[in-house]
Amino acid sequence: MRKEFVGKRYRDKLIAMSLAILVLGSSCLGCSKKSDVERRRQSENETFDETETTDYLYDEPESLGRSMTYADGSLIFHHMHVDEAAIPIEYDLDKFIKVDGKMTYEDEKYTYKLGVDVSKYQEKVKWDKVEKEGYEFAMIRLGYRGYTEGEIFLDEKYEYNIKAANRSGLDVGVYFFSQAITEDEAIEEANFVLEHVKDQELEMPIVYDPEIVYNDKSRTKGISKEQFTKNTLAFCNTIADAGYEVMIYANMLWEDQQLNMSEIMKYDIWYADYVGLPQTPYHFSMWQYTD
């Protein structure tokens, strides 16, 4: 059974970090039970109003092969054609349920875990508190490449975060913020990641985060969709060849304009979308649903 993830980010008043939900196929080892959520739903069952957010944006999966319209993070609308060779979304959008302020996915095929997503931009995380509040995994930024000069840096809080998160008993994964402009640079980034995880315990994926920086000085400005895809595969193949699980971070703009989806979907997708329910026609494994 393919592992499934659903994720989110929001600001916590006690621990300033991003949060996520991990959803696993029901046959996976170590899956969480759904009973706690089911009991809570008896007293509180809150769903997103799709009419206000996504009904006018999203074509249902059976419409694959037709074009669709989506809104980006700035609520600017774009028109796109769906890559029919890519894996279509497998979720029932009606089953994304908000319970006690947290997104869940209610389906007998899946269970889920709560987790966090952090980088140097969060204040020092109290990892024992994270575990006590019921979170079970952490996605930690390992490093990044500068968007102008292209120098690679280790995230200033990586060492603390990964060691403390592991000590607290959380499952841990890492991500790298890429500004690679060639396949060689993407491989360089992958090798940098491998060097810094070799002595760490990882139960979650290593994630390639190839973000677009909208700045006149951005070194990635003008890179073609084909090159962007080649860079992505170069990083992911290097990580996978080293024996690690790997995932790709993407939003609707990147899936539309920067990535050939049918080429990259041998790897799982960490999908970011803040417009109500997921707009993507493609399958994903993690959903970041607030910024």
Q: What is the pLDDT of residues 30-80, one digit of tens each?
A: 333 333 333 333 333 333 333 333 433 444 444 445 799 999 988 999 999
In single-letter form, the type of residue at position 95 comes to: K
Residue 226: count other Cβ atoms within 10 Å of its Cβ: 10
- DSSP-derived letter for residue 32 is P
Is 109 within 8 Å of 26 (Cβ atoms)? yes
**Residue 290: what pLDDT?**
72
Residue 156: count other Cβ atoms within 10 Å of its Cβ: 13
**Residue 245: what pLDDT?**
97
Task: Give the residue extent of every domain in the chain.
Answer: 6-288
Output the CA–CA distances (angstroms, integers) from residue 3 to 106, 137, 188, 263, in the order listed.
16, 14, 28, 19
pLDDT at 9 over 50: no
CA contacts within 13 A on the Cβ side of 174:
32
| Residue 264: closest CA among 252, 253, 250, 278 | 250
**Residue 184: what pLDDT?**
99
Each residue of 82-138: pLDDT tens digit?
999 999 999 888 988 888 877 888 888 877 777 788 999 988 899 999 888 888 889
| Residue 48: closest CA among 90, 13, 96 | 96
3-state secondary structure 201-215: CCCCCEEEECCCCCC
| Residue 203: closest CA among 30, 26, 1, 8 | 30
Output the CA–CA distances (angstroms, integers) from residue 197 to 88, 105, 163, in the order listed.
32, 31, 11
**Residue 43: what pLDDT?**
32
Fold classification of 6-288 is TIM Barrel (3.20.20)
**Residue 259: what pLDDT?**
97
**Residue 19: what pLDDT?**
56
> pTM for this structure?
0.80
**Residue 163: what pLDDT?**
96
- Torsion angles phi and psi, residue 115, rounded to 5: -150, 180
Output the CA–CA distances (angstroms, integers) from residue 112 to 24, 56, 102, 115, 175, in the order listed.
6, 29, 12, 10, 21
What are the DSSP calls for 248-284, one per residue?
EEEEHHIIIII--HHHHTTSEEEEE--SSS---SB--
For the segment 254-272, the average pLDDT, to the nearest whole number, is: 95
In angstroms, rounded to a whole number, what is the distance separating the alpha carbons of residues 171 and 243? 17
CA contacts within 13 A on the Cβ side of 191:
7
**Residue 42: what pLDDT?**
34
In angstroms, rounded to a whole number, what is the distance separating the alpha carbons of residues 261 and 87? 8
Strands 206-209 and 18-25: unpaired
**Residue 109: what pLDDT?**
83
In single-letter form, the type of residue at position 141 comes to: R
In angstroms, rounded to a whole number, what is the distance separating the alpha carbons of residues 18 and 40? 23
